[in-house]
């Protein structure tokens, strides 16, 4: 097991997939392992990434949904021939706090930054901003990119 560790925040969004892809490439270069961390809170909130209001009611296993989301993200973002070792991590709590706690002892914390349009894309989101102010290690904020900018076309 690698002594070096990169923590990356994942929520299923395009910007978090881009951050995970970047973290996996960095891990290949440095020999680090990657912890792909997803956080969930009750009531379950993923800000509309594919789930509707029906997810707020009934007997729902939120941790299971989060685990599927992070597993799918790893499958989509990390090439099969990658040398990076990526571990899925599911934790209950506010995403910013979960990432700060997960980054304890890590070499690097990687988060995506959502942005739509020229002005808002220059701003950090609340999670990325919190992480840059409170993380116990260096933080890399990956600017979200449009699918057209993505290498290989519109697959994310």
* Residue 24 maps to a domain: yes
137 with 101: CB under 8 angstroms? no
Give the pTM.
0.79
pLDDT band at 60 (very low <50, low <70, confident <90, very high): confident
Distance CA 155, CA 30 (A): 27
Among 1-5, 76-80, 85-89, whose mean pLDDT is lowest? 1-5
CATH of the domain at 58: 3.40.50.620
pLDDT digits (tens, 9 = 90+) for 101-149: 999 999 999 999 874 444 444 445 689 899 999 999 999 999 866 555 5
What's the whole-number mean pLDDT along residues 38-67? 68
CA distances from 21 to 42, 49, 76, 118, 140 (A): 28, 19, 9, 23, 13
How many domains is the chain built from? 1
* Residue 131 maps to a domain: yes
* Residue 91 maps to a domain: no
Higher pLDDT, 151 or 31: 31
* Residue 97 maps to a domain: no
**Alpha helix segments (H runs only) across 31-116:** 62-77, 95-102
34 with 68: CB under 8 angstroms? no
* Residue 134 maps to a domain: yes
Full domain range(s) for residue 64: 5-86+113-149
H-run or E-run covering 141: strand 139-143
């Amino acid at each position: 097991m690698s002594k070096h560790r990169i923590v990356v925040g994942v929520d299923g969004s395009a910007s978090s997939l881009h951050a995970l892809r970047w973290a996996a490439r960095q891990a290949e270069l440095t020999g680090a392992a990657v912890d792909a961390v997803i956080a969930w809170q009750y009531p379950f909130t993923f800000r509309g990434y594919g789930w509707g209001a029906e997810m707020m009611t009934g007997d729902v296993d939120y941790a299971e949904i989060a685990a599927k989301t992070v597993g799918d993200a790893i499958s989509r973002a990390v090439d099969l021939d990658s040398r990076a070792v990526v571990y899925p991590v599911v934790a209950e709590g506010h995403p910013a706090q979960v990432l700060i706690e997960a980054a304890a002892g890590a070499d690097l914390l990687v988060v995506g930054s959502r942005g739509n349009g020229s002005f808002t894309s220059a701003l950090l989101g609340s999670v990325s901003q919190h992480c840059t102010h409170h993380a116990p290690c260096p933080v890399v904020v990956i600017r979200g990119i449009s699918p057209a900018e993505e290498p290989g076309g519109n697959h994310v």
